[in-house]
A = this chain, B = another copy of it.
Amino acid sequence: MVQSDPALESRGLRPLRIAIFGFGTVGSSVARIVAECKPEGLQLTHVFNRNVARKRADWAGPSVVWSEDADAVLASDADVIVELMGGLDPAGGFIRRALEAGKSVVTANKKLIAFHGVELERLAARHGGHLKYGAAVAGGIPVIPGVEQGLAGDRIEKIEGILNGTCNFILSKMDAGAEYAPVLAEAQAKGYAEADPTEDVGGFDARAKLAILMRLAMRVEVDPDEIVPRPITEVTAVDFSYARDLGCTIRQVARAQKTNGNVAATVGPTLIDLHSPMAWSRGTENMVILSGHYGGDVVFSGHGAGGHPTAVAVVSDLVALAHGSRRVEIPSQKAKVEAEFDVPHYIRFLVNDRPGIVHEITGALARESINIRAIVQKAGYPANALPFVVTVEPCKSSALQRALASIRTMDCLLEPPLDLQMLE
């Protein structure tokens, strides 16, 4: 039986009826917070999940309908669908149907919002419902509400983020000496990484989040596929060793920049200065730095993933809906990701040593007018598998790629050189 909330009723409101789609870690955390904290104006009425019998939780309250019939829940009197299934299908279809029926939707689905957010927001507006997705970027860290409600008065020109906790966990462990394969296995055992880790380590997850932030903060609608991510699997122990000699560490960084309307965006392993805020984030933590034309840098950090932090963002969206708060929908414009960053780079070579190698490499860089910043070669490596590093002053990726295309033809290279952006 659906119970009423006297405090709300006296104000002429009735509780929002909530249906959770997907009762995994985050879904059960949402139900747990609602059951424990009893936020004013929220009532969990339905849970949809496949094989729902094994999910049933008495603590969620006697009035919850547990169902494996999505159609029935979509046709019910629930006011809000909380979509926590992830992926484009069937989550997208359920969301569209809920919005078309005039319901509101709260979701943590970054992929769906990155690719279809604009369309879904229009659908919601057309049918009088609301679409909220505060949990889609950086989970428990209120970056999306902060941007929408607290930075709408600024003009955000730059975004830098550690947006994927799995990659940050793996790279911080590798920084401390671990190898990629066992750390990935540990992350999988702890539930930080999926059985197929491609979305995370390949950079696709961070790219979706970056595209969402670009729309909300920079007000540009980009096709996420235009941001080509670099996987963190390219980075090896030797790179952490050289990075440290350069006063840096390596993290997966998502960054975007808007200069005179030109948009640049990349995702991939990046050298960051050990004294920069980015290096503060440990383990699965996330961090976002937004640089505004008027307000300067604003840093957000905290737990970007996990059941409870993500559930906090979902419940906060629900509380905001229950209190009649609306999203601040700043118009955005379509844009192409076609500008280039002009940043310093780290290039690591692995060669079978012979005379003239540095001469040839520096020649190829000079032909593209790329200035060398440092050449670092540590002792202790064998001459027939010698890693060494060249860092270069800020240059366009296109110029660097032309130089690397020429360098790649050198007979002494045991593998293609690894080039990483450096964050300044």
Contact B323 A325 (CB under 8 A): no
Q: How far apart are the CA atoms of A242 and B41 in the complex, in Å?
A: 52
Contact B155 A37 (CB under 8 A): yes
Q: What range describes how many residues of A lie at the interface? A: 35 or more
Contact B300 A295 (CB under 8 A): no
30 contacts between A and B (CB under 8 A): A33-B154, A37-B153, A134-B149, A140-B154, A141-B150, A142-B150, A142-B151, A143-B150, A146-B150, A149-B320, A150-B313, A153-B313, A153-B314, A153-B317, A153-B318, A154-B312, A292-B312, A294-B309, A295-B309, A295-B313, A296-B308, A298-B301, A299-B299, A299-B301, A319-B328, A323-B330, A324-B326, A325-B325, A325-B327, A325-B328
Using a CB–CB cutoff of 8 Å, the interface residues on chain A facing chain B are 7, 29, 33, 37, 39-40, 134, 140-155, 277, 280, 292, 294-303, 308-309, 311-320, 323-331
How far apart are A388's CB and chain B's nearest CB, in angstroms? 32
Q: How far apart are the CA atoms of A261 and B56 in the complex, in Å?
A: 32
> Which residue of chain B has its CB nearest to the CB of A300?
B300
Contact B152 A149 (CB under 8 A): no
A313 contact set on B, CB distance < 8 A:
150, 153, 295
Contact A303 B296 (CB under 8 A): yes
Contact A315 B142 (CB under 8 A): no
A302 contact set on B, CB distance < 8 A:
295-299
Q: How many copies does the complex hold?
A: 2
Contact B33 A153 (CB under 8 A): yes
**A153 and B325 in contact, given A299-B300, A299-B302 (Cβ under 8 angstroms):** no
How far apart are A389's CB and chain B's nearest CB, in angstroms? 28
Q: How far apart are the CA atoms of A325 and B299 in the complex, in Å?
A: 24
A145 contact set on B, CB distance < 8 A:
142, 145-146, 148-150
Contact B308 A303 (CB under 8 A): no
